[in-house]
Chain A
Amino acid sequence: MDEDIFRKLEERLGALHARQRLGIETDHEAQIFGQGLTFFHLENWISGRWIIRNVLKATGLYWRARRNAQRILIKYNEVWFKGLPPLFEDFTILHISDLHADMNKVAMKNLVKLLGGTQYDLCVLTGDYRGETFGPFQAALDGVAQLRAHLKEPIYAVLGNHDTIQMVPGLEAMGIRVLLNECETIVRGDQQIYLAGIDDAHFFRVDNIEKAALQIPHGEFSILLSHTPEIYRQAAHADFNLLLSGHTHGGQICLPGSIPIKLEAVLPRRMGAGAWQYHNMTGYTSVGAGSSVVPVRLNCPPEFTLHRLRRTVT
């Protein structure tokens, strides 16, 4: 590995987090059975792809499913909060997830077209920039850079289970601030909210909500970015108001009625896609803009999301 990247990561994450993340990445390269929240990782099982592709071809669904993966929807999600500071009324967040940029070139082009006239105050990317969970990452960075050129600042991001932490210096050089168990303050006038983000909690399990939330004063409005929504319990009890996540792809290949066959997540099904609530925390699971394993979608179109924060007046 590039010595320079390693030194930068060590400075940034602390020696321990950097060692853990890189060590687990090294172990993982091309490994099918691993130790994340799930033991079997479909995306690393090459013959799994072959089966999916050929079953779809045999049933005549393959080309339709390929086209589906390129038709991105814009979703609007309005969320109401009692604790939102008044100046943040109508604050709008553009949320893009699971780009798998190097595997979904046509979808990325469509995404750029759709983003054209979009108005927002903040952009967040919730991980999985790379198509594969291992191997080279330059094509993924190039894909993100093409999209980045069409995004308005500020842009914040977290890493997913498909991403290597070696991409961080490259992402940050493009002006994307990656939150690795860290927290930033978003200011409007004399009021502020907190935006925290954690490293991947699904496969690498190097998430540290406690560290990320350390600077947030109790009772302040706070948003957590996590690639996977599987940490919903830990996030809700750490008093986050909003959790923005992705990872599930909403199932990607679904039965009619958007019923996922497999979510690839240890999660109540209602949290598998779209808006949900857990105790006082509002959650949103984006089905993602890209697709992975085989870039096909059935009954589950790709999306990007505009979240509009609203203040409940009591």
Chain B
Amino acid sequence: MDEDIFRKLEERLGALHARQRLGIETDHEAQIFGQGLLSFHLENWYPIHSVIRNALKLTGLYWRGRRNTKCMLAKRNEVMFKELPPLFDGFTILHLSDMHVDMNEAAMQRLIELVGDMRYDLCVLTGDYRGKNFGPFEATLEGVARVRAHLKEPVYGVLGDHDTIQMVPGLEAMGIRMLLNECEVIVRGNRQIYLAGIDDAHYHKVDNIEKAASQIPYGEFSILLSHTPEIYRQAADADFNLLLSGHTHGGQICLPGSIPIVLDAVLPRLMGAGAWQYYNMAGYTSVGAGSSVVPVRFNCPPEITLHRLRSG
């Protein structure tokens, strides 16, 4: 690994988080049976790619599934909060997730068209920039850079289970502030809200909500970015008001009625896609803009999301 990237990461994350993340990534490279929240990782089992592809070809669904990945929806989600400072009423967040940019070039073109005229106050990316969960990441960074050129600042991001932490210096050089168990203040006039983000909690399990939330004063309005919504209990009990996440792809291949076959997440099904509520925390699970394993989608179109925060 690039010595320079390593030094930068160590400074940024602290020696321990850097060692853990990189160590687990190294172990994982090309490993089929890994130990995350699930012991079997579908996306690493190569024959499954051709099994899915050929099953779809045989049933004549393959090309339709491929075309579906380009039919991207712009979803709108309005969320009401009692705790939101009135100055933030109408504050709009563009939420992009699971782009898997190097595997979804046509979908990314569509995404660029869609975001062009959008108006928003903040843009957040909730992980999975890379198609595969191992291997080179140059093509990924180039793909993200093409999208980034069409996004308005400020842009914040977190890493997903498909991303290597070695991408962080590259992403930040593009002006995407990565939140790695960290927190930032978003200011409007004389009021502020807090935006925290955690490192991947699904496979690498190097998330540290406690560290990310440590600077947030009790009772202040706060948003957590996490690639996976699987940490919903820990987030709700840490008093976050809103959790923005992705990871599930909403199932990606669904039965009619958007019923997912597998979610690749240890999660109540109602949290698998779209808006949900858990105690006082509002949650949103984006089904993602890209697709992975085999880039096909059924009954589960890709999305980008505009969240509008309302005070009241």
On A, residues with C-beta under 8 Å from B are 14-17, 19-24, 27, 33, 35-39, 205-206, 208-211, 213-214, 218, 230-234, 236-239, 266-268, 279
The minimal Cβ–Cβ distance linking B27 to chain A, given in whole angstroms, is: 7
Q: In the bound complex, do residue A38 and residue B266 qualify as a contact, i.e. CB atoms below 8 Å apart?
A: yes
Q: In the bound complex, do residue A237 and residue B24 qualify as a contact, i.e. CB atoms below 8 Å apart?
A: yes
Q: Report the count of interface residues on B (CB-CB < 8 A).
A: 37
The minimal Cβ–Cβ distance linking B10 to chain A, given in whole angstroms, is: 11
The minimal Cβ–Cβ distance linking A31 to chain B, given in whole angstroms, is: 11
> Known contacts being A210-B14, A211-B210, is A19 close to B237, with CB within 8 Å?
yes
> Known contacts being A15-B218, A237-B23, is A205 close to B38, with CB within 8 Å?
no
Closest 10 CB pairs of A and B: A237-B23, A23-B237, A20-B237, A237-B20, A39-B266, A266-B39, A233-B24, A24-B233, A19-B237, A237-B19
Residues in B1-23 with C-beta less than 8 Å from chain A: 14-17, 19-23
Task: Known A-B contacts: A208-B211, A230-B35. Give 9 more (CB < 8 A).
Answer: A17-B210, A20-B210, A20-B233, A21-B237, A24-B233, A211-B208, A232-B35, A238-B19, A266-B36
Q: In the bound complex, do residue A19 and residue B239 qualify as a contact, i.e. CB atoms below 8 Å apart?
A: yes
Q: In the bound complex, do residue B16 and residue A213 qualify as a contact, i.e. CB atoms below 8 Å apart?
A: yes
Chain A CB within 8 A of B232 CB: yes
- The chain B residue with its CB closest to the CB of A39 is B266
Q: In the bound complex, do residue A210 and residue B17 qualify as a contact, i.e. CB atoms below 8 Å apart?
A: yes
CA distance A231 to B206 in the complex (A): 10
Q: In the bound complex, do residue B214 and residue A16 qualify as a contact, i.e. CB atoms below 8 Å apart?
A: yes
The minimal Cβ–Cβ distance linking B196 to chain A, given in whole angstroms, is: 12
Q: In the bound complex, do residue B234 and residue A210 qualify as a contact, i.e. CB atoms below 8 Å apart?
A: no
Q: In the bound complex, do residue A211 and residue B24 qualify as a contact, i.e. CB atoms below 8 Å apart?
A: no
Chain A CB within 8 A of B238 CB: yes
Chain B residues with Cβ below 8 Å from A22 are: 237
CA distance A238 to B236 in the complex (A): 27
> Known contacts being A16-B213, A210-B211, A211-B210, is A27 close to B205, with CB within 8 Å?
no
25 contacts between A and B (CB under 8 A): A19-B238, A20-B209, A20-B233, A20-B238, A21-B237, A23-B236, A23-B237, A24-B233, A24-B234, A33-B268, A205-B231, A205-B233, A205-B234, A208-B211, A210-B14, A210-B208, A234-B205, A237-B19, A238-B16, A238-B19, A266-B35, A266-B37, A267-B39, A268-B35, A279-B23
